Amino acid sequence: MEAWESHPKWPECVKKSWANGVAINEAVAGLASKADECNRNYFGNVFQGKRRILARLARIQKALETHTTMNFQLLDRSLREELESVVTQEELIWQQRANSNWIRLGDRNSSLFHAKVNQRACKHSIIGLSLPNGQWCDNQVTLKREAVEFFQKVYSGGHVKWSALPTTERISNHPPVVKNMMAMEPRPRQQCPSIRVASRTVAQLKVMSPMTDPVVVVSVTDFGAKGDGRTDSSQAFVMAWTSVCSSEVPATMYVPRKRFLVSSPVVFQGPCNGTKIEVKIDGSIVAPDGVESLGSSDSWIMFSHVEGLVINGGAFDGLGSSLWGCKSSQQSCPEGPTTLTIFGSNNVVIRRVTSINAKLYHIVVHSCENVTLEGVRIYAPKESPNTDGIHVQHSVNVRILNTGIRTGDDCVSIGPGTRNLWIQRVACRPCIGSLGKGLEEDGVENVTVKNVVFSGTQNGLRIKSWGRPSNGYVKGVVFKQVVMNDVENPILIDQNYCPRNEGCPNQNSGIKISGVTYTDIKGTSASQVAMKFDCSDTSPCMGIGLQDIELTYQKQPAKSFCKNVRGMALGVVNPPSCL
C-alpha cells in the first residue's frame, strides 16, 4: 500500500473506484480491481524499471562528456527525477518485505539496508555463530540458547518474558535456531537510542550462511556521524574504520545517502586484520570551506597500507573555491590537500566515485601495487589551479578505465616511479610529468594510453621534464586511438619546462626519453604546430614513432617541430613528420 501511495496517480485511482455511489462491498471490490490495474500500469517490475533508467542515464552521461547540449541536460534531469521516484518505490518494497518496524529507522536504499532486510527475512539459514569466547559453534542446541539470550538482552533489557507462538507451516521449514527466533513475540518498538545500540551490535555479528561468506557491515552513523552537512563526523568515521579494520572476516564501512562533514584530515590506517574491506558510499563526504580549513595537511582523506580495499560509489566535495581565489590573487596561501590519497596499499579498486572541487589534486595513488580506478568522475572549473584529476607515482600495475575528468590541470599526471600503467576510454588530457625536478629520480616505463578524447584542452599527449640535470627516464610509452578536438598542443614533448624561470634557466634536462609511439591520432589542432618535439641537447629523444596521424589546423595543413629527436614515421602522417 505504501508503494502505491507514493505514486502521484494513486489518489485518482482510488477516487474513481468510489465515484459511482455503489454499495460498500461493491466499492471495495472495485478498489481491489483498480489497485491491481494500477499496480500493473504504474509499477510493473520496479527492479527492471530501475535497471532500464540507470542504463539510459549512463548513456546520457557518457554523451554529456563530449557534447554538452540543453536537450541532453534536460533529459539527464528528467531521468534523475524518474530514478528518484523508482528508488522510493523500491525502498518501500524492501520495507514491506522486512515486515519489521525498527528496520525503517535504517538508511534509504542502500546495501546495508538490503543486507539487514535479508537477515530479518531469514533468507539464508544460519549454520554457525562466533560465540563471545571466540569459538565457532554449529551445534543447534547451543545456537538456539545463544540466539534467544542475545535477543532477549538486546530488545528487552532482560525484563520481558518471551512466549512461543503456535508453530506455523512457514516457521517449520527453517532450522531450529531460526524457528525459535521467528516464533518469538518481540516487545513493542523501542526508543531510538535503544534501536541504534541494537543495530550496531547486530551489524557486527559474524554470521555465515551456506551461500555467502561472513560479512561485517558497520555504518558511520552507528558511531554518531550526522548527515546534516554541518556537524563534524571525522571521529565517527575513524571509529567506524577501526571497527571494520579489526574484523578478521570481509567487512564493509557504510556511508548513508546524506552529506557528512569531515572537517579534519583523516587517515584510515592499515594494515587490517582482513584482506577484503569495502567502503560503500551512498552519500557525500564534504570538506570544510575556507583557505586555512585543513591547515598544512597534504591529504584530506587517506587510506594507508590497506590490502584488498574497495571504495564503491559516493562523492567527495573538496570545496576548494576559497583556496583557488586566494592563489589567483597571489596572496600567501597554503598549497592545499589532496582530496583522496591511496598510499602504500595493494589490490585496491576505486569504482564509481565522484570528486568535485578539490583544493589541490583530486586522487593520488602513491607507492601502491595493483590499483584499478573505474567509472570515476572528476570535476573542477577550468580556472582552478593544480587540480590534477588522478596523480600516479611510485606505483606498479595501475589501471584507469571508463573515466571522465574535467579539471583546471592535467586529468591524469604520471610521476616518477610509475610502471605498467594502463589508461583506456578516458575523456581528459593525460600527462607524463613533470619529471626531473630532482637529481635522483625513478623512471617511468610501460605506459599505455588508449581510446582517449581531448576537447578544447591546452595540451593533449604531453611528456614534460624540468630543464635541469636528472638521472630519470621515460621509456616504453604507447599512445593510440586518440581523438583531438581543437587542442592547442595535440602531441608535445617538452624537456625545457621551467616555470617562472626559477632554478633551471640555461640548463638541460637529464631525463632520457625513448621508445614512445603515437598511432592512430586524429582530429584538429587549435595551433598551427600540431606536433612538437622539444628535446634536451644533452639527452635527445630516441626511438620516437609516428603512424597514421591526421591532424589539421583550421581546415588547412598543420606543422610539426623537431629539436634533438630521432625516430621514424610509417603510413600517412599529417602534419608531415620532421623526424
pLDDT exceeds cutoff 50 at 110: yes
Point out the least confidently predicted range of 147-151, 299-303, 348-352. Answer: 147-151
The string of pLDDT tens digits covering residues 123-143 is: 445 556 666 665 666 676 776
Residue 465: which pLDDT band, with cuts at 50, 70 and 90? confident
Point out the least confidently predicted range of 199-208, 351-360, 521-530. Answer: 199-208
The string of pLDDT tens digits covering residues 260-275 is: 999 999 999 999 998 8
**Average pLDDT of the chain, as a whole number:** 79
Q: How far is CA 294 from CA 119, 390, 397, 409, 506, in A?
A: 41, 20, 31, 22, 38
Average of per-residue pLDDT across 47-62:
76
Average of per-residue pLDDT across 473-478:
94
How many beta carbons lie within 10 A of that of residue 51, not counting itself?
12
Q: What is the pTM of this model?
A: 0.65
Q: How far is CA 138 from CA 125, 126, 195, 241, 387, in A?
A: 12, 9, 28, 29, 54
Report the alpha-carbon distance of residue 521 to residue 128 in Å, rounded: 59
pLDDT exceeds cutoff 90 at 557: no
Contact partners, residue 443, CB within 8 Å, separation at least 6: 416, 417, 472, 473, 474, 475
pLDDT exceeds cutoff 60 at 253: yes
Residue 467: which pLDDT band, with cuts at 50, 70 and 90? confident
Nearest CA among 229, 215, 304 for reference residue 261: 229
- Name beta bridge partners: 130: 136
How many beta carbons lie within 10 A of that of residue 320, not counting itself?
27
Helix (H) or strand (E) holding 474: strand 473-487
Cell of 390: 588522478
Single-letter amino acid code for the residue at 108:
R
Helix (H) or strand (E) holding 328: helix 321-328
pLDDT exceeds cutoff 60 at 4: no
pLDDT of residue 170: 34
The string of pLDDT tens digits covering residues 412-449 is: 999 999 999 999 998 876 677 677 677 888 999 999 99
For β-strands 556-557 and 512-525, DSSP reports them as: unpaired
pLDDT exceeds cutoff 90 at 169: no
pLDDT exceeds cutoff 50 at 205: no
Measured between its terminal Cα atoms, the distance across the chain in Å is 73
pLDDT exceeds cutoff 50 at 100: no
Name the residue with higher pLDDT: 442 or 154: 442
Residue 22: which pLDDT band, with cuts at 50, 70 and 90? low
